[in-house]
Structure 1
């Protein structure tokens, strides 16, 4: 009787398994730390969207006014508000007496570095004093999107999330329900 010994084949799968597990963990951690995109997600807006944006921004401003006192509250936009809704919201908040710090998207990063560099020591000292005196405002973000004739607006102020739906009827937009208020967990 002859015994046969089979050579055990090493499978490369076992050699790469720790690498695959490590990569999966890094991807999951990276997804957890990524910031959620904010702003308007309205694609191919209707011509009436500028009017709809103004109506929705008016309603959002009224709701914010119920929760935060004007003239003593400062907001800091956490993303550029370059769409019609964002511009209407910022304009409304300022007209109501809120201070709003806007986030400006720099088209040329090299120019931003050059412009932000102090010219001499006096300017550098003045810039440091200004930074110390500047009080950061409440973090303000928004998400606006649409599905058919239903618009969804979410306003995030620090850890507070306010959400409301709006519906279009006969060319006019109106609230489709009450405001939903939720505290975000950190």
Structure 2
């Protein structure tokens, strides 16, 4: 499983480089990768992958968006989003484990995870950049809702499909009854 954790941390790093620039915070592929990691691996190992990704960036590996890294990336205007990835992964995974690994549940869990990330990031952005709540929400929350819903849907459909196939191939050590 540790190999899977490392592979998904790497996938998050790669998809973080897919960006659509916006004035303060870009739209990136890393949140899709986080949704996939948790939907496929579950709460514990999906969270480990996200934590490993954050640690890799914190120690200086250029894994964050636009190949940024280091503690300055974690303490800069996007730091709240990066930190929010961890509770996002934990809660998304817990929701899936408490309900069932089905596409509908995964979609709802990934939407909740997206909201958690956006809340962390928006609050951080508001205080870091000394913005009003209106400006912080306009820069760090509202622009990401529609694309976040799309990413939640993709993470659910792709994630559950891949998870089921990996379980059937005995490449994930989870019982088949947990995946539907």
Bigger Cα Rg: 1
Q: Which has the higher strand share?
A: 1
Higher relative contact order (CA 8 A, sep 6+): 2
